[in-house]
Homo-oligomer: A and B are copies of this chain.
Amino acid sequence: MKIYDWHIAPNPRRLHIFLHEKQIEVSLEEVGQADLTLSPDFKERYPHAMVPMLELDDGTCIGEVMAICRFFEDLNPEPSLFGKNAKERALIAMWENRANEEGMLAASELFRNTHPAFADRGLPGAPAAIPQIPELQIRAKARLDRFFNKLNQQLETSQFLAGPRFSVADITALCAVDFAKWSKVEVPEDHPHLLRWYAEVRSRPSAKA
């Protein structure tokens, strides 16, 4: 099997951290280019044109980062990053989804609707031109404000995002917080619980994977 990768991009980073935490090694092929586009060969092979993508030895293409992570969790259950019982799994899935929809997608919206290299790529994976919408900058910042508030509240009483153990919810939230920094949006100083968690998760060796 092989992972098609764009090493600097936020969604591939979720997978790198996951694999490092699980101590799984998979061969990687870099398909990101210096001009911040994906290689034409990759887009031809995989018209969804998003990374990461896992190609199995039988040719099956598995996209969407959490689908890939779940595949590896099935093959290598320990250490569990999706939870060990029904309730734990549900809470991790809930916070992971929230970190994605309210964090990652907001940071992506902000970056893609402001960065000059994405002038006609306001959405990921688009085969056609999708112009930027400058008004989304304000909305995306409001989304990130809400996201930071939610995280700070949750982390006041919870060591990690979905409970006492590190999970995929923390991976997605960490990548979202760091992705927001690409657009110069930082965690506000009056969010002590979020900052405590952020210092903790970013100092794990996996955060540099």
Contact = CB atoms under 8 A, between A and B. Distances in A.
Interface of A: 48, 54, 56, 60, 62-64, 66-68, 70-71, 74-75, 85-87, 89-91, 93-94, 97-98, 101, 105, 122-123, 126-128, 130, 133, 135-136, 139, 142-143, 146, 150
Contact of A130 (B64, B122, B142): B142
A48 B93 CA distance: 15
Contact of A122 (B105, B122, B126, B139): B139
B87 A60 contact: yes
A143 B124 CA distance: 10
22 contacts: A48-B150, A60-B91, A62-B94, A64-B98, A66-B97, A67-B94, A68-B90, A70-B89, A70-B90, A71-B87, A71-B89, A71-B90, A75-B86, A122-B139, A123-B139, A123-B143, A126-B142, A127-B146, A130-B139, A130-B142, A133-B133, A133-B139
Contacts of A139: 122-123, 130, 133
A72 to B, nearest CB: 9
Nearest to A60: B87
A93 B67 contact: yes
Nearest to A98: B64
Nearest to A58: B87
